[in-house]
Structure 1
Amino acid sequence: MLLPEFPPHMFERLPDETFHYGDFPDLSAGVGYFQDLMGMENWKERREAAAWRFYRSLVGEQEDPSSEGRFYGLKDLFGWYLFLGESFTDHPQNYEVFYGCRVVPVFAAIGRNLALVSQIEGFEERARDLIGPGRSQPNGGLFEMLVALAYARDGAKVAFKPEEPGRAKAYDLDVEVDGTSWAVECKRLEGGDYVESERARKRELWSPAARLIVPSGRSIYANVDFSVELGDVPDDYLFQNVVEFLRSGKDSSRWSDDYASGVIGDLDLEPLQTALEDGYLLYPGPIYNKLLTGTYIRYDELNTLQKVKYAENPHFIDEVDQAIVLRTRSLSEGAIEKKARDFKRKLVEASRQLPVDRPGVIHIGLEALGDDLIEHRRYEKIMNTINDFDPKGKPLSFIYWHYFAPEASPEATWAFDETCQWRGIRSDKRPLSLTSLIIPQQSEGRDGAHWDGVPNETFRAP
């Protein structure tokens, strides 16, 4: 149970704190920019609200009407982002690594380019909207800022186009390059309802089975690869497999049928418990997950029920007496097709917002948080969309699409892959030569995509 109030040092770096991530000036600059616009008193209130939501969720005291297990509230999603950005350097004991790896590189990219902000007309107004009315949906605004900074970094004159009340939404940026004026529209593609519904369905399938195991005191690990969509799996599917396993008296068993193939067996907690003898472990975190399951998998899908003793800070675990873990993959043909979301709808919307009196550019940002098979499929769908796309008479010249692949691993607090692709629709000279919105120009890159099987020099935190 949490204390009724946070300790005085809650948002400070502790003198004896050993778990920290070092200094990151670019990140601090980006976070500080938004904090200054927000005002420190306002920020402290929002920071405390984000912290309470996070810690109450960790210990199971936070009601979640969505049943999606979020550590954050959607009403002030930007406040959660800023909380993660600040905690990385200033109070690392509060930093949540899995979501933070998606946020830290973005704030760092903005901080790295703050000298350009004064040259971009309307940038501050867009930022103020982001921290105020747009706080519940910050991804689109942050993406627009990254695109604007990229054009400015490339030498263009850039201005945010102000919205006109009572008129249909226009494009986002006016960009001038070598005397040519461009209209630029930005769209951000989110993860989608299907991914969220899959997560909820896994909890529905696993919760009764996990609760059945608890009284036995056994630590159990199950690894299941579903061959059909989760909505087609019987409600008691995992429960019945667990019942059969427990009745068998075996240490482990395997199965394969029309729904899935799986293995279930006793989980050895010794590696995790041995590590805990040397000190607390951050939870949730990739190091903890690797010690618990024996392997680290990028974009892992774990459902974990544990009997633990928290450290004084419940973001860290002191002891583990029992753990019941489900690791899954959902890569049926139907699931791959639905998770590999194309951006056709976003492309059509963006094209409609472009004017008819000047050449247009569309930028679409996509977050890649799925298996490489999903990204392969999405690439195929996107290329079909691009090849068949009709701008309906609009002078659309170029389409850029940017894949962002964040990661938190046992080896790096955060790492980031970024793949940029573009297609010329007309014969105009390309207005943006840069291919990276987030990764610094001095980082190493290569031709190809992050999902193509060729080893990447993934950009990692300094």
Structure 2
Amino acid sequence: MSRLLEFPPDMYELHEDEPRLFGHNEDLKRYVEHLKSAMGQVEWRVRRDATAKRFYQSLVGENPEPAGMGRYFDNRDLFAWYLFLGEAFNDHPQNYEVVYGCRVIPVLSALGRNLDNLERVTGYSDRLNRLIFKERSQPNGGLFEFLVAAKYVSEGYEVAFHPEKPGRRRTHDLDVKRGGDCFAIECKRMEAGQYHEKERAAMRGLWKPASQALVRTGDSYCFDLTFKTEVETIPVDYLRRVALRFIERDADNEIIYDDVSYGTLRKLDLGPLQSALADSSWMHPGPKYNNLLLGSYRRYESLLLAHKVRFSPNPHFIDAIDQAVALRWACASEAAIDKRARDVIGKLVEANDQLPEGVSGIVHIGFEALGGDAVEQRRFEIIKASVSAFDTRGKPLDYVFCHYFSPEASIDEAWAIDETTHYHKKRPGPLPLTHLSLVTPQDVPFDAGVHWRRS
């Protein structure tokens, strides 16, 4: 039996001599406790244990993710993973995963801050129950609906989830009214694109034989490459050939520039990280660990890492490292940027179909902007043009709001988030909302422009 199948009795507690690694977030705590209460403590204990076991077994390689994408969670209960991260942040930070957590904590914190508004929404309890149990594999849609609903309550609207009728076609999500204004609202939360997932999987396949060759030398390396062509068009032996040539030359570093990629190859100095580990254990995965290992921090980087390490008693932390082989990669292909900058038009068509005929309609579309500045600027331009030209086919769709969420875990902060909102309107006069962000507190100034263009 795996040693990881039996957790210590204080697994989900803040140890007596342990500092709060990330401080305390009262808004987050409030919503986490609300969700646990709605789920039930017995149910939560079962799902929390299953989530923790999957996380730790994945960390040490006992239970590799079947799809080969390196996930630490079970897609069949993504909601439990979110709640696990939310609880861990405050109550047992030794289990908190900072890289994925930065995508979850801002949303749960915003909902905790707006819980009073949420509980004023007619039908909220039923919608929450459906999210916790029936939609556990796809929680992003429901959480996004909650953010939108709370926003309209905060601006003085009466808000209700539109009743669903089993067996009939899907309808819109929310009915809102204020004074003489009535709106039907449909919310769409876009997930990571299929192209992005295929690109990551293809790069893992290309890197595996190269990394195996590098590992056999016993030395440590970092390849930092930007690819000129789409990942799927890179010759299958390209990275392996590059690695073998670099090993044969036995150089400390090299610049590479050819028809496929450009960048640097270098032997990796483990000294800074080993010195830090001599004083204390370091959490992995995490931006601070990567910064010490690779010599710099990068926002939204794509990284493949194999390292020979000694875990601390908690394998979420590392005590020592003997070897590391890393690939930092990006793809600057124009075709790849276009494909990753997915348009929202498909979601807008779905949303428009779900709106009623005789009520002014609003569509809110949300997605994570994690593609880097070039991708997000291209996506913004595509979306702006597409939404402006969208044919509503006679539906009274008066407003479309596109919400770009850009979360980050950095070496300085456990989590941060940028939020940009782009809108298109057909009705003259003021917008139905005066503050356009869903996650950012209303007392925080809302800057004009888009976050990826700021200096």
TM-score (norm 1): 0.97
Residues in 1 aligned to 2:159 and 2:35: alpha-carbon distance in whole angstroms: 20
Q: What is the count of residue pairs matched by the alignment? A: 454
Structure 1: which amino acid aligns with 2:362? V
Q: Counterpart in 2 of 1:170?
A: 171
Shift of 1:445: 3.0
Structure 2: which amino acid aligns with 1:120? V
Q: Counterpart in 2 of 1:406?
A: 407
Residues in 2 aligned to 1:19 and 1:251: alpha-carbon distance in whole angstroms: 40
Shift of 1:442: 2.0
Q: Counterpart in 1 of 2:107?
A: 106
Q: Is the 8 A contact 2:206 2:236 kept in 1?
A: yes
Q: Counterpart in 1 of 2:199?
A: 198
Range with bigger deviation, 189-198 or 316-325:
189-198
Q: Is the 8 A contact 1:28 1:111 kept in 2?
A: yes
**2:89 alignment partner, SS class:** helix
**1:67 alignment partner, SS class:** coil
Q: Counterpart in 1 of 2:139?
A: 138
Q: Counterpart in 2 of 1:249?
A: 250
Residues in 1 aligned to 2:275 and 2:178: alpha-carbon distance in whole angstroms: 60
Structure 2: which amino acid aligns with 1:155? G
**Percent of paired sites with the same residue:** 48
Q: Is the 8 A contact 1:397 1:427 kept in 2?
A: no
Structure 1, residues 393-417: CA drift from partner, whole Å, max 9, x if none?
0011111110000000000000010
Q: Does 1:371 align with 2:369?
A: no
Shift of 1:19: 5.7
Q: Does 1:67 align with 2:90?
A: no
Q: Counterpart in 2 of 1:415?
A: 416
Change (3 A) 1:428 1:123: farther
Residues in 2 aligned to 1:53 and 1:116: alpha-carbon distance in whole angstroms: 35
Structure 2: which amino acid aligns with 1:140? G
Residues in 1 aligned to 2:384 and 2:423: alpha-carbon distance in whole angstroms: 10
Residues in 2 aligned to 1:384 and 1:4: alpha-carbon distance in whole angstroms: 52
Residues in 2 aligned to 1:329 and 1:399: alpha-carbon distance in whole angstroms: 32
Which runs of structure 2 are paired with 1:200-239 in the superposition (5 Å)? 200-239=201-240
Which runs of structure 2 are paired with 1:286-297 in the superposition (5 Å)? 286-297=287-298
Q: Counterpart in 1 of 2:325?
A: 324
Residues in 2 aligned to 1:400 and 1:215: alpha-carbon distance in whole angstroms: 52
Structure 1, residues 175-217: CA drift from partner, whole Å, max 9, x if none?
0022221100100111111111111111111111111112211
**1:119 alignment partner, SS class:** coil
Shift of 1:103: 0.4
Shift of 1:426: 2.4
Q: Counterpart in 1 of 2:307?
A: 306
Residues in 2 aligned to 1:64 and 1:98: alpha-carbon distance in whole angstroms: 17
Range with bigger deviation, 440-449 or 93-102:
440-449
Q: Counterpart in 2 of 1:460?
A: none
Q: Does 1:349 align with 2:345?
A: no
Residues in 1 aligned to 2:203 and 2:374: alpha-carbon distance in whole angstroms: 20
Residues in 1 aligned to 2:273 and 2:333: alpha-carbon distance in whole angstroms: 33
Residues in 1 aligned to 2:76 and 2:201: alpha-carbon distance in whole angstroms: 21
Q: Is the 8 A contact 1:19 1:93 kept in 2?
A: no
Shift of 1:36: 0.5
Shift of 1:358: 1.1
Range with bigger deviation, 243-252 or 167-176:
243-252
Shift of 1:7: 0.3
Q: Counterpart in 1 of 2:266?
A: 265
**1:75 alignment partner, SS class:** helix
Q: Is the 8 A contact 1:418 1:450 kept in 2?
A: yes
Residues in 2 aligned to 1:255 and 1:69: alpha-carbon distance in whole angstroms: 28
Q: Specify every segment of 5 or more residues in structure 1 that has no aligned partner in the other structure, as ranges.
A: 456-462
Q: Does 1:285 align with 2:283?
A: no
Residues in 2 aligned to 1:75 and 1:39: alpha-carbon distance in whole angstroms: 19
Residues in 2 aligned to 1:356 and 1:444: alpha-carbon distance in whole angstroms: 36
Q: Is the 8 A contact 2:272 2:293 kept in 1?
A: yes
Structure 1: which amino acid aligns with 2:144? F
Structure 2: which amino acid aligns with 1:396? L
Q: Does 1:76 align with 2:67?
A: no
Residues in 2 aligned to 1:323 and 1:2: alpha-carbon distance in whole angstroms: 26
Q: Is the 8 A contact 1:177 1:431 kept in 2?
A: no
Q: Is the 8 A contact 2:102 2:415 kept in 1?
A: yes
Which runs of structure 2 are paired with 1:427-442 in the superposition (5 Å)? 427=428, 429-442=430-443
Q: Counterpart in 2 of 1:458?
A: none
Structure 2: which amino acid aligns with 1:433? T
**1:76 alignment partner, SS class:** helix
Structure 1: which amino acid aligns with 2:226? D
Q: Does 1:117 align with 2:91?
A: no
TM-score (norm 2): 0.98
Residues in 2 aligned to 1:204 and 1:254: alpha-carbon distance in whole angstroms: 23
Q: Counterpart in 1 of 2:155?
A: 154
**2:165 alignment partner, SS class:** coil
Q: Counterpart in 2 of 1:87?
A: 88
Q: Specify every segment of 5 or more residues in structure 2 that has no aligned partner in the other structure, as ranges.
A: none
